[in-house]
Structure 1
Amino acid sequence: MSKSKPAPVKAKPLFYPFDHTPPSAEACLDAVYEAFDHYTIAAPFCRQCFEPEQERVMLLSRDTRRADAKVFDMIYFEHPNCSGGPDTFWHWLPRGLELSFFGDLGSAPFPQQMIRVGLAALPEQELHALRRLFCRIALNWLQNFDYAPLGVQAEMDDAGLPFWHRQSITVDIFVILIMLRTEPSDVLKVFLDSDRNEAWSVVWELFQQGSFFIEKESYYALDDKADEEPMREAVATLHRRTRTEVFQLVDRPFLLKKWMAASESNSYLADDLADLEALYNVYHNSQTDEERAEDERLMRIGFKLDPPPSS
């Protein structure tokens, strides 16, 4: 009897739509814990960066979901390989996200570290869980200014807002959604529709070609060193694609319309919009169909979205 051929492995989509109706924050977070449950702490740690006691405490912390930030938060400020590599980072990711975006961990450099360990190339189940979570976080933040849907209270500033969120959370949410391969135009529309000053600050960064994704020369920490240069190129290409999308959505008539509305009620935003309009030609970015196709090819290679060629 002849053996049946295995089903062909399908290529993965480059982008996924923004989920406008994700489950509750609790349900999304539960799904992330479940998706990343198979990762374990890798040891030994670098002795220049971590004391033996720090490593011991981390290894003995069995209940990831109830771990204090002080048990593991030092890993976010060192090279990922110094704490055993990507597996340690992914092991603590659900708890780190819970404490940072829903609690009081503070401004850990999550986007940059997640990019360095290969966020965009994670298995689809893990990407899906994270994408849903960050769609929920984005909607809570942009629509309701809800920084703690789980009820965890953080240290407040004089305006009654968590002090680090005012500076960084909007950019962090945006970058992570893009790196989760959420359709850039979808993400931009959600941010623009909110009409918040914080959301427009992201557009301002994109106009100026701000490299808030990750510096091109930054180090990566992937399981296979040969993947690092393709990943670096793919991340830079995704940044370029996102900048192109913002100019598709935000043209001069759009800016003028927004400026007229803001000038009557929001002088701070009106000033920013006036600056954007004045410098529009300086920052404008576009791509030909051929350039767009080449960028998609580079992203598919770097993020490993196509099945390997059959032998």
Structure 2
Amino acid sequence: MSAPGPRPDWLCPLPTQTPPARDALATCIEAFRYHDAPDALCPQCFPDETLSAPIFAAARLAQRGTCPRPEQFAQIYFEHPRCVGGEETIKLFLPFGIQTMLTGTVPDGFGHLNYSEVLETALQAGFWFWRPDLIAPLRILAARLFEDWFTSGHYGLDGWPHRAERPGDLTGPGDDILQFCTMCLIDPAELLQTLSDLHTPWADDTFSGAGSISIRAPFYVSMDTGQDDQLYTSASHDIARSLHAREARAFCHLITPDWLSNAFFRRDRDHPRLAKALSEFENHYDVKMIEIRKTAQAPIMSDWPDLPTV
């Protein structure tokens, strides 16, 4: 397939020369900590004070720029945004949700649940229609996490155990970082181009199967009021479809049988399990690419949806 074509104006290039992850995170915290703390929670979701008090306490810490313990506020990612104080609450906690729950082990008391819900909840709260000055620092953080992980296997935030504790895990937080990048509207075609050129084990692992790196559309967006009012949800689906289509076009262009063969020989000695997966992908290439080729045919929107900022 030919190259994916010019980047639409609503997508952003991958930022370069980004600050260290901790500094980028601090900028995000400062940008978001002025949002309102919730003054009430849904009485059905939070029927007694033992459930609501930790969230109120965590919100006060967040407004001071201090990271709460994740178990204090994790419950907001399992409720409708309007049940936890609205979009302002989701904004207030987002940097800390990314810091502590983007990936890796879950907070004490939350069993086996995983925390892709941090990003999903942001989309449910209308993330793609937040002010650009709020999304911009998150994009810088996402780009830094991308650079750290895929060039050297380093993850600079709290949630994922250090590489020394999980030897041989090349995937690690990579999938979550890529979803974070695409949520921040970093061009997925540029992400794939960069990954295909890096030739590191962590980057090569991204192509060990025909999976997708782009975030999926939310089931709903909280600003929509009912079945007859689905403007934000519909627009979010158009955005997500376009991300996946552009990614798929780039994947078809970049990840060819020759690329997979070269990647196999790069990894045959240092990461034989990865090399085996790359070889299997090459051997069954046409079958594994069926869905990606189908996704690549979907239309990509040229103009950003004309909806009010949230």
Q: Same fold (TM over 0.5)?
A: yes
**Is the contact between residue 85 and residue 221 of structure 1 (CA under 8 Å) also seen in structure 2?**
no
> For residues 145 and 51 of structure 1, do their structure 2 counterparts lie closer, same or farther at Cα, with a shift above 3 Å needed?
farther
Structure 2, gaps ≥5 residues long: 1-7, 108-113, 226-230
What SS does the corresponding residue of 1:148 show, helix, strand or coil? coil
Indicate the residue corresponding to 2:173 in structure 1. 169
Indicate the residue corresponding to 2:75 in structure 1. 74
Indicate the residue corresponding to 1:220 in structure 2. 220
> For residues 187 and 66 of structure 1, do their structure 2 counterparts lie closer, same or farther at Cα, with a shift above 3 Å needed?
same
**Per-residue Cα deviation, 1:185-230 (whole angstroms, up to 9, x for no partner):** 221233334445554454355x25x59733x6x5223324431122
What SS does the corresponding residue of 2:120 show, helix, strand or coil? helix
Distance of 1:211 and 1:133 partners within structure 2: 17
Distance of 1:234 and 1:286 partners within structure 2: 19
More deviation, 106-115/253-262: 106-115
Distance of 2:76 and 2:141 partners within structure 1: 22
Distance of 1:219 and 1:24 partners within structure 2: 34
Indicate the residue corresponding to 1:4 in structure 2. none
Matches within 5 A, 1:1-311: 13-53=9-49, 54-61=51-58, 62-64=60-62, 65-100=66-101, 107-109=114-116, 110-148=118-156, 160-161=165-166, 169-204=173-208, 207-208=210-211, 213-214=215-216, 219-225=219-225, 226-282=231-287, 283=289, 285=292, 294-297=299-302, 300-301=304-305, 304=306
What SS does the corresponding residue of 2:236 show, helix, strand or coil? helix
Instruction: Tell me the CA shift for residue 276 of structure 1.
Output: 1.7
Instruction: Tell me the CA shift for residue 122 of structure 1.
Output: 2.5
Instruction: Tell me the CA shift for residue 166 of structure 1.
Output: 6.7
**Is the contact between residue 124 and residue 220 of structure 2 (CA under 8 Å) also seen in structure 1?**
yes
Runs of 4+ in 1 over 6 A off after TM superposition: none
Aligned length in residues = 283
> For residues 305 and 183 of structure 1, do their structure 2 counterparts lie closer, same or farther at Cα, with a shift above 3 Å needed?
farther
More deviation, 104-113/73-82: 104-113
Distance of 1:242 and 1:266 partners within structure 2: 26
Q: Which amino acid is the alignment partner of residue 165 of structure 2?
A: G
Instruction: Tell me the CA shift for residue 175 of structure 1.
Output: 1.0
Distance of 1:173 and 1:155 partners within structure 2: 15
- State the TM-score, normalized to the length of structure 1: 0.76
Distance of 2:205 and 2:90 partners within structure 1: 29
**Per-residue Cα deviation, 1:43-101 (whole angstroms, up to 9, x for no partner):** 53233332432323322442212322222111123333332332211110112222235
> For residues 154 and 166 of structure 1, do their structure 2 counterparts lie closer, same or farther at Cα, with a shift above 3 Å needed?
same
Q: Which amino acid is the alignment partner of residue 142 of structure 1?
A: F
Q: Which amino acid is the alignment partner of residue 137 of structure 2?
A: A
**Is the contact between residue 214 and residue 243 of structure 2 (CA under 8 Å) also seen in structure 1?**
no
**Per-residue Cα deviation, 1:120-174 (whole angstroms, up to 9, x for no partner):** 332211111001011111112222322236xx696679x5139xx8765111100
Instruction: Tell me the CA shift for residue 14 of structure 1.
Output: 1.2
Distance of 1:50 and 1:168 partners within structure 2: 34
**Is the contact between residue 102 and residue 147 of structure 1 (CA under 8 Å) also seen in structure 2?**
no
**Per-residue Cα deviation, 1:248-297 (whole angstroms, up to 9, x for no partner):** 211122112212222343221211112221232231545999x67x4123
- State the TM-score, normalized to the length of structure 2: 0.76
**Per-residue Cα deviation, 1:19-46 (whole angstroms, up to 9, x for no partner):** 2210122321121112223322345323
Q: Which amino acid is the alignment partner of residue 213 of structure 1?
A: I
